[in-house]
Amino acid sequence: MISLVLCTCLLAANLAGCRPGESLDPMPDPYISPYDWEQLVLDEDGHYSYFENGELRSRFGIDVSEHQHAIDWQAVADDGVEFAMIRLGNRGATEGELYLDDYFEANFEGARAAGILIGVYFFSQAINEDEARAEAEFLISYLEGRHLDYPIAYDHENVGSYGRANNLTGPEVRNCASAFFAVIETAGYEATLYGNTRDLLRMDNWFLDHYDLWYAEYDVYHPTIEHDIVIWQYSSHGSVAGISTRVDLNIHFLPPAAEETNSVGH
């Protein structure tokens, strides 16, 4: 009986890739968010704020594109919006042409004049690294060295049943993002990665931990992805003064005060 038990243990150790007497690798520690979600407050207007030790440690923001049409940016600022992620352009989901957002210049200049902090994003449909680099170069050429308060975000999503990039593997999407970011960072801008759980979890953990994340998740009390995030897009049906359509709402979580000078938006 003792021999049978010993053989069983040896077999289990060998199957696990361990020598007899060695312990199995421990399970990874469970993810712990850097945020205390009990300090996340939703007001009557549907806007989130985050507090630490009674101090406000967040900013309220939106993201916009030509789909919001003409915007009264002073009214937006008066309604409490502190930052805006503005779409500069996109690649077409079928033929793959590059387009400048019809309202980019008006949105950029209007937000700047109203004192709103600005970041930009590009909607990618790149199917390889060369196309991703071309998207970044397109974006940089239109920015013409303008100052940004927030990073440049890379937004690569599946599009319906027809998107030209729908069949990319996770590593292929990650390689496209890496190529895009290399151009952005060489030009002196910060980069961030946008997506929902499905979009982001195509990437490997190292990549997700290496870049700031702008995370989209709706109809939940707090973000549920098990990675640190910097911006949470929590609604696609928000209402803000000065905008005639529904608009995405975002909260930027500010870091502890001691780290603030190295954070997004500073």
Tens-digit pLDDT profile for residues 117-161: 999 999 999 999 999 999 999 999 999 999 999 999 999 999 988
**Gyration radius of the chain's alpha carbons:** 22
Whether residue 5 is contained in a domain is answered as: no
Compute the mean pLDDT over every residue in the chain, rounded to the nearest whole number: 90
**Tell me, what's the pLDDT at 24?**
55
Q: Which two tokens stand for residue 152?
A: 């440049």
Of the candidates 226, 215, 232, the residue with the CA atom closest to the CA atom of residue 47: 232
The answer to whether 91 and 51 are in contact (CB under 8 A) is no
Q: Which two tokens stand for residue 98?
A: 């590059």
Which pLDDT band, with edges at 50, 70 and 90, does 264 fall under? low
The CATH number given to whatever domain includes residue 253 is 3.20.20.80
Whether residue 54 is contained in a domain is answered as: no
Whether residue 25 is contained in a domain is answered as: no
Which residues, including other chains, have CB under 8 Å from residue 197's CB and lie 6 or more apart? 217, 224, 225
pTM higher than 0.85 for the full model? yes
Whether residue 37 is contained in a domain is answered as: no
Helix axes 129-143, 170-186, angle to 10 degrees: 30
Q: Could you give the percent of the chain with pLDDT greater than 70? A: 86
pLDDT tens figures, 41-99: 999 999 999 999 999 999 999 999 999 999 999 999 999 999 999 999 999 999 999 99
pLDDT tens figures, 150-188: 999 999 999 988 999 999 999 999 999 999 999 999 999
The answer to whether 194 and 150 are in contact (CB under 8 A) is no
Whether residue 168 is contained in a domain is answered as: yes
In angstroms, what CA-CA distances link 83 with 48, 74, 221, 252?
Answer: 14, 13, 22, 9
Whether residue 31 is contained in a domain is answered as: no
Whether residue 210 is contained in a domain is answered as: yes
Which residues, including other chains, have CB under 8 Å from residue 199's CB and lie 6 or more apart? 156, 157, 158, 216
| Residue-range definition of the domain harbouring residue 97 | 60-262
The answer to whether 67 and 110 are in contact (CB under 8 A) is no
Cα 142 to the center of its chain, rounded Å? 22
**266 has a pLDDT exceeding 70:** no
What is the residue type of 15?
L
- Domains contained in the chain, number: 1
